Amino acid sequence: MPQKTVIEAIREGMDEEMARDPSVFLIGEDVGQRGGVFLASDGLYKKYGEYRVIDSPLAESCIVGVAIGAAINGMRPIAEIQFADFIAPAMNQIIEEAARFCYRTAGDFNLPMVIRAPWGGGVHGALYHSQSIEATFAHIPGLKVVAPGTPADAKGLLKAAVRDPDPVLFLEHKRTYRLVKGEVPDGDGVVPIGKADVKREGKDLSLIAYGLMLTYCLEVAEKLAADGISAEVLDLRTIKPIDQAAIVATAKKTGKVLVVHEDTRFAGIAAEVMAIIMEHAFDALDAPLMRLTGPDVPAMPFNHVLEEAFMPNVDRILAKAKELAAY
Amino acid sequence: MATKTQEVEAKGGQSRHRSLGLSDDQALRIYEVMRLARAIDERMWLINRQGRAPFVISCQGQEGAQVGTAAALRPGHDWVAPYYRDAGVILWFGMTAKDQMLSFFARREDPNSGGRQMPGHFGSRRLHIVTGGSPVATQLLHAAGVALASKQRQEDAVTAAYFGEGGASQGDCHEAMNFAGIHKLGVIFVCENNGYAISVPQSRQMAIQNLADRAAGYGFPGVVVDGNDVLACYEVAGQAVERARRGEGPTLIEAKTYRFTAHSSDDDDKRYRQAEEVAIWRQKDPIQRYAKYLRESTTLTDPVEKEITERVDQQVDEATEYAEQAPDPTPDDLMTFVYKQGTVS
């Protein structure tokens, strides 16, 4: 199987879905001639034309609101928010409209649409090009939230999102775009929404993560193995609906769990994962549940010292994992 | 491109509807839907004041702007994105008195929402009525998106988006008109300017007299029309629809009108407007005005009026009786349709 980057996998996923289904189209800022600021849609404008790859005005509510309207009328839009940090102007359309359409019409309407947003830090993006938004949106019933960490999952989950009957927020960690390479199966390779994936088997403790933190946790597991500690790495892949069975299974298997995310701590995804384990695997635990997260500050500063102080990294995860292993 | 705001004056004398291409039957059909919208609304207030239902939000006074513009569209082919007062629009597009009353009593069978939304939150995929929520002006972007899909598939369906002059202050209103203007989408934006957003008068909503002036800034025509003159509304909407179907882009129609009731059953309009002002506007009631015209043009006779009244009363009576006795949702219904496929995951 060919090795690809995350950004190549996403581009290929969009291309293949647009080729397969004429109702699929892309709308967002700079997605046309420019091919997107990260080149996620490079070449698609030329291939599919200005009404399948639409350069939107610089207005996020417009991007999402128009996508909703198109989805009402038989299309399957992919709405790109240039940076997850800029999604706030579209929150009314996402939360009050897209997420509520099916419920508020008792199933008469549904919105097959994807909102893609590059998220996460570690790229000197400062306060407004580094944010994590998954917990904010995972709290909203009616939305699905996906956060792949590998090229194969990015492509496979994007295809699942495009084919899904409900609105899916598709989060692409921008640090992984060119950093993370991996094998991507030829053909469809659809990865179902709502299924976590054990990326590494282990028996002594479990590391639960997603996005860029998955890559870091896999590195940590390798280092732990050198110390004779066997770590299992569970990749959530989908934040909502969360794969409760997979979380409970790994907790019961190892009895020790560390949840890692770079999103801020309070009411974050780790809190939800820990609550699930407390409700369903309490008797299996051999240590207190632990989490390593970004701190509760508004966002990641520009200065490199401050950025590094914000981001969980391999050293910090390793130290926390050793603390858990020794408990 | 004509971008100057036009003020359309009523003209045509005793055969106006015929000169607009409406047969006598069509002219009477418009009248009957206006009457039905009014009668349903009046019945809702009665029931609300008797304590049998918690909430009403009214179309009263705006039926001319609603039915007049909707009548220029093709139900089932074209789309509407109404706002919460648009009973006249959705009745023209195929909703019934029974549907309205099922929504009013929030019954399980309510086709808009299964009893989940307050009255006035219309929606039907089958009837091409875009579902609405309570935040205002969001539907204008949805209308632009519906029209974009029509353009992508090279279909000639037109989408009409309705809103109040209060909703026009929202950013989504600007974003929708801007996008529709850029892509020359087949949208007609219909502002039912009733002078108040709950209590706030137009003068505190915008610095201009005519909202339609803004259309020039988006590169398409803006038209001011007497919203209480149903035939004038039909005429300008017809021109806008033709323009849209030809692929020439949107039109902004500002229908100057007035709401006869308080904002809702929970509002007291005496706190912000004079009874005298309401009385003056009641003299311009679009239904009475249209009835007068139809009588003068001998389209409406006493026997026809009697038939219409009987049909309207019967529909409202039967709808009320049916809906009041219809079953509520069950507690299990709380958990369904969070997502398209089945229950909460």
Chain A, nearest residue to B182 by Cα: A57
Q: Which residues contact B2 (CB under 8 A, 6 or more apart)?
A: B221
What pLDDT was estimated at residue B8? 60
Residue B9 has pLDDT above 90, yes or no: no
Residue A296's nearest CA partner among A319, A259, A268, A258 is A268
Give the mutation candidate from B152, B178, B189 for the A interface (greatest A CB count, under 10 A). B152
The DSSP element (H or E) to which A232 belongs, if any, is strand A231-235
Query: What's the CATH code, domain B6-335?
Result: 3.40.50.970
Residue B7 has pLDDT above 80, yes or no: no
In the stretch 144-163 of chain A, residues with CB closer than 8 A to chain B read: 144
Q: Do A105 and B150 touch (CB under 8 A)?
A: no
Residue B2 has pLDDT above 70, yes or no: no
Q: Where are the domains of chain B?
A: 6-335
Q: Do A102 and B121 touch (CB under 8 A)?
A: no
Q: Give the active site residue among A124, A129, A173, A304.
A: A129
3-state SS, residue A95: helix
A74 at B interface, C-beta within 8 A: yes
Residue A1: count of CB within 10 angstroms of its CB:
10
| CA-to-CA dists, residue B124 to B87, B105, B130, B322, angstroms | 13, 18, 6, 20
Q: Do B146 and A61 touch (CB under 8 A)?
A: no
Q: Where in chain A is the domain with CATH 3.40.50.920?
A: 197-326
Q: Do A104 and B116 touch (CB under 8 A)?
A: yes
B160 at A interface, C-beta within 8 A: no
Residue B1 has pLDDT above 80, yes or no: no
How long is chain B?
A: 345
A322 at B interface, C-beta within 8 A: no
| B123 closest CB neighbour out of A69, A96, A105 | A105
Spell out the per-residue pLDDT of chain A, length 327, in tens: 789 999 999 999 999 999 999 999 999 999 999 999 999 999 999 999 999 999 999 999 999 999 999 999 999 999 999 999 999 999 999 999 999 999 999 999 999 999 999 999 999 999 999 999 999 999 999 999 999 999 999 999 999 999 999 999 999 999 999 999 999 999 899 999 999 999 999 999 999 999 999 999 999 999 999 999 999 999 999 999 999 999 999 999 999 999 999 999 999 999 999 999 999 999 999 999 999 999 999 999 999 999 999 999 999 999 999 999 999
* Chain A residues closer than 8 Å to B116 by CB: 103-104, 106
What pLDDT was estimated at residue A152? 98
Q: What is the dihedral of CA B51, B56, B60, B64, to 10 degrees?
A: -140
* Chain A residues closer than 8 Å to B333 by CB: 106
Q: Where in chain A is the domain with CATH 3.40.50.970?
A: 3-183
What pLDDT was estimated at residue B342? 61
3-state SS, residue A211: coil
Residue B11 has pLDDT above 70, yes or no: no
B153 at A interface, C-beta within 8 A: yes
How many CB pairs below 8 Å do chains A and B form together?
146
Tell me the nearest-neighbour CA distance from B76 into chain A, angstroms.
13
Q: What is the dihedral of CA B303, B13, B37, B188, to 10 degrees?
A: 150
Question: Which position has the token pair 């860029």?
Answer: A212
Average confidence (pLDDT) over B90-105: 98
Give the confidence band of B14 by pLDDT, cuts at 50, 70, 90: confident
Structure tokens, A147: 């956060």
- Determine contact, residues B342/A107, Cβ cutoff 8 Å: no
Average confidence (pLDDT) over B116-140: 98
- Determine contact, residues A99/A143, Cβ cutoff 8 Å: yes
Residue B343 has pLDDT above 60, yes or no: no
What pLDDT was estimated at residue B4? 54
Average confidence (pLDDT) over B318-343: 93
Query: What's the CATH code, domain A3-183?
Result: 3.40.50.970
User: Across all residues in chain B, what is the average pLDDT?
Assistant: 95
H helix runs in B128-229, sequence order: 138-152, 171-182, 215-218
Give the mutation candidate from B122, B131, B334 for the A interface (greatest A CB count, under 10 A). B131
Catalytic, A280? Answer no
For Cα atoms B34, B195, B198, give the angle at the middle one, nearest 5 degrees: 90
Give the mutation candidate from A48, A100, A104, A163 for the B interface (greatest B CB count, under 10 A). A104
Q: Which residues contact B294 (CB under 8 A, 6 or more apart)?
A: B27, B28, B31, B300
Peptide bond preceding A241 in cis form (omega within 30 of 0): yes
Chain B, nearest residue to A111 by Cα: B340
Q: Could you report the predicted ipTM of this complex, rounded to two decimals? A: 0.97
* Chain B residues closer than 8 Å to A141 by CB: 338, 344
User: Facing residues of B336 across strands?
Assistant: B343
Phi, psi (rounded to 5 degrees) for A114: -120, 135
Q: Do A70 and B149 touch (CB under 8 A)?
A: yes
Give the mutation candidate from B129, B340, B343, B344 for the A interface (greatest A CB count, under 10 A). B340
Residue B33's nearest CA partner among B336, B328, B286, B324 is B286
Structure tokens, B13: 């004398």
Chain A, nearest residue to B152 by Cα: A51
What pLDDT was estimated at residue A1? 76
CATH entry, A197-326, from 3.40.50.920, 3.30.420.40, 3.30.70.1170, 3.40.50.2000: 3.40.50.920
Surface-to-core class of residue A230, CB atoms within 10 Å of its CB (0-12 exposed, 13-18 middle, 19+ buried) = middle
A58 at B interface, C-beta within 8 A: no
Q: Do B142 and A106 touch (CB under 8 A)?
A: no
| CA-to-CA dists, residue A7 to A36, A63, A130, A170, B107, angstroms | 11, 21, 17, 13, 49
- Determine contact, residues A152/A182, Cβ cutoff 8 Å: yes
Residue A187: count of CB within 10 angstroms of its CB:
7
B229-276 pLDDT, tens digit each: 999 999 999 999 999 999 999 999 999 999 999 999 999 999 999 999
* Chain B residues closer than 8 Å to A59 by CB: 175, 178-179
Catalytic, B121? Answer no
